[in-house]
Chains A and B, each alone.
Chain A
Amino acid sequence: MNKLRTTLLAAMSLIAANAAHAEMSGNVVKIGVLNDQSSLYTDLAGQGSVVAAQMAVEDFGGKVNGTAIEIVSADHQNKADVGSNAAREWLDVGGVDVIVDVPNSGVALAVNEIVKEKNKVFLISGAASSALTGEKCSPNTVHWTYDTWSLANGTGKAIVKTGGDSWYFITADYAFGHALEKDTAAVVESNGGKVLGAVRAPLNNADFSSFLLQAQSSGAKIVGLANAGADTTNAIKQAAEFGIVAGGQSLAGLLIFITDVHALGLPTAQGLIFTESFYWDNNDATRAFAKKFAERDGGIHPTMIHAGVYSAVTHYLKALAAVGADSDGKAVVDKMKELPTEDPLFGKGTIRADGRKIHDMYLFEVKKPEESKGPWDYYKLRATIPAAEAFRPLDKGGCPFVK
């Protein structure tokens, strides 16, 4: 009799537990971090993004409405097919509810379609192409950290206004590079500058000397680097070698991360001007985050991509808690757009109808070696670009479902 009662009680509690969690598929909320974990974008995203997602989950309390949260990760190797396969597998059989990060716009554009088709959630931190909230926008996607338009707007405008009115681009030959070049060229031209030419360099190219010579002979005042990661650091390093800057031309790194500055070293990187949405040494909250983060990511200080992953996952969990079910990805994203965002790293903000997260952007300049107090003390703030001006106006993006 006693035994029967215990069994019954156990069965009842099981049913009760099940009932309470029925809204969360598979009784777990699964976050998939998909990014480059073995090649040129590893330091600026990579395992650091997994750490950032874990920190967000821990700070949220580890559970949503009592349901456990699990994080999985995969390496897309910067290949759209590898990334698409991983995403499909996660969404079809892996029980993943939300895909996060995905640097490399080529891969992100592919994953964007898949997530929409499966009605899950896509939180972009690493990818830059402004098409993700423009003509390729999706009701299941939030583009969090930055995009090519905001970089072009911040850096391009600042440089043209200080006299850099003729440009030549060295562009990474894939979706991101093309978008960054297009957006920057538009800003340059609308501010009265002109674009003299562009050369498309393959992704993960080691030697830029040939492209730099072409830029040099164009006679443009500004050589715009529409690339990222190791491509940017190699180009900057070799530009110094070929006397580009000594010859009177200036470099504009359109997308530079703190890990790039760290890799270049201040003697080479000093004076670079660029736009970012996050710097770890901004205030007490970001410093505290950076300290905890660096301990867990081998001393690397968080890039804006890492910060974006933390912030995006935090807001996703808030929205998920409010909706209470993860089966309808679009409903969760709608809730994310409805709730104002607030977290220690990006402060207060909003998410627009087209999926664009809106916050301030910052124009930074790399310090001179003598101004820096030590490793990772690299940026000084030149200007804050207020949220209202930092991103492409809603009606200019051409997102089909925004009327």
Chain B
Amino acid sequence: MTELLGISPQALFGQLLIGLINGSFYALLSLGLAVIFGLLNIINFAHGALYMMGAFVGWYLLQYLGLGYWWALIISPVLVGLFGMVIEKTMLKRLHGLDHLYGLLLTFGLALIIQGLFRNQFGSSGQPYVIPKELAGGVNLGFMFLPLYRGWVIIASLVVCFATWYVIERTKLGSYLRAATENPALVQAFGINVPRLITLTYGFGVALAAFAGVMAAPIYQVNPTMGADLIIVVFAVVVIGGMGSIMGSIVTGFGLGVAEGLTKVFYPEASNTVIFVIMAIVLMIKPAGLFGRTA
């Protein structure tokens, strides 16, 4: 058996692995979106811009403060997360209880402003960010050359995704969060500070985006439009997975990364539309998404 689906099995395994790597980013970003939508009912269109900010903060730390990748992986999500909390406190909070459309428009506007400011300041070509030396190089897996950094991306994002899932679905804190979504007034009556819980949740979702941004910095150019290019795809992932479903966004994130990777081999011209085709099909068959709870 030298050929499988018209290409060698080696090439096929390679492409599957690459699909998983790209899926890691989809999963990390759609997870943040799902957390925010699930608990705040906000469609966070600023997510891509915040992902880009995360990458830029990482770049800034390296360029001006000499703090490398590992520091950036911690500091950048914290800083961008704080920025997100300020947004929530000052702006999003006022939209509480209004139609989804208001939150969508506000965050979309914010995304345009943030991107515009960064483009004005840093230009569109982007800034270079080198792979940390601990993860430079790669290993030959026999069927492909796997850069160590890409391997790290898969592992780190799997760990972060499942830790988030665990906290929300299996711990006491998570149960407060879920209860606060169902019935904020009742949860507040039990003495839990619901507004603070919501602010922290938004901050956490945003921090996930910034984390993904730092992870992406060594692979892609650190570039003001890096988020805008990705966010539409990520929204499709969330829609396919089922709005607000944590596990759904993780599984579909990885799954669609693989589907896209395979398209790049068999029909590369369609690789930037395949996800939307899948989205259309899923919406026709299962309007609530693959893992959605309500129709």
Contacts and interface: CB of A to CB of B under 8 A. Distances in A.
B18 A213 contact: yes
Interface in B206-228: 219-221, 223, 225-226
B123 A200 contact: no
B265 A242 contact: no
A22 B19 CA distance: 64
Contacts of B219: 207, 237-238, 241
Given A210-B261, A234-B220, A229 B125 contact: yes
A264 B268 CA distance: 25
Interface string B100-139: 0000000000000000000100011111101100000010
Q: Which of A201, A206, A238 gathers most chain B CB within 10 Å?
A: A206
A199 B268 contact: yes
A233 B226 CA distance: 13
Interface stretch (B142-150, B171-179, B241-249, B283-291): B142-150
Interface string A243-260: 100010000000000011
A168 B133 CA distance: 30
Given A206-B230, A243-B138, A263-B221, A233 B125 contact: yes
A209 B225 CA distance: 19
Nearest to A201: B268
A210 B220 contact: no
B15 interface: yes
A213 B15 CA distance: 8
B128 A300 contact: no
B138 A259 contact: no
A267 interface: yes
A238 to B, nearest CB: 7
B145 A210 contact: no
Contact of B128 (A39, A42, A204, A265): A265
A234 B221 contact: yes
B188 interface: no
B89 interface: no
Contacts of B272: 202, 205
B11 interface: yes
Contacts of B144: 213
B125 A44 contact: yes
A207 B22 contact: yes
A344 B145 CA distance: 49
Given A210-B18, A241-B219, A242-B138, A262 B11 contact: no
B20 to A, nearest CB: 11
A243 B147 contact: yes
B64 to A, nearest CB: 15
Contact of A214 (B11, B21, B119, B131): B11
Interface centre among A173, A211, A241, A298 (most CB of B within 10 A): A241
A237 B216 CA distance: 12
Nearest to B147: A241
Interface residues of A, number: 44
Contacts of B15: 210, 213
A262 B125 CA distance: 8
Contacts, number: 111
Contacts of B138: 241-243
Contact of A38 (B18, B119, B130, B149): B119
Contact of B268 (A43, A200, A241): A200
Interface residues of B, number: 39
A242 B131 CA distance: 12
A204 B8 CA distance: 28
Interface in A142-173: 173
A81 B123 CA distance: 25
Contacts of A138: none
A230 B21 contact: no
B128 A268 contact: yes
Contact of A39 (B8, B22, B124, B220): B124
A262 B11 CA distance: 34
A241 to B, nearest CB: 5
Given A230-B223, A242-B145, A267-B130, A209 B150 contact: yes
B145 to A, nearest CB: 5
B125 A211 contact: no
A219 to B, nearest CB: 12
A230 B268 contact: no
A242 B137 CA distance: 8
A216 interface: yes
A230 B126 contact: yes
B128 A241 contact: no
A233 B129 CA distance: 12
A262 B123 CA distance: 11
A263 B147 contact: no
A230 B11 contact: no
Interface in A164-217: 173, 199-202, 204-207, 209-211, 213-214, 216-217
A385 interface: no
Contacts of B18: 207, 209-210, 213
B220 A211 contact: no
A209 B17 CA distance: 10
Interface of A: 38-44, 46, 173, 199-202, 204-207, 209-211, 213-214, 216-217, 229-230, 233-234, 237-238, 241-243, 247, 259-260, 262-265, 267-268, 298, 300
10 contacts: A42-B119, A202-B268, A204-B229, A211-B268, A213-B18, A217-B8, A230-B225, A233-B125, A259-B125, A262-B125
Q: Top 10 closest A-B pairs, CB basis?
A: A42-B124, A263-B125, A210-B264, A265-B128, A202-B272, A43-B125, A43-B123, A241-B147, A259-B125, A43-B124
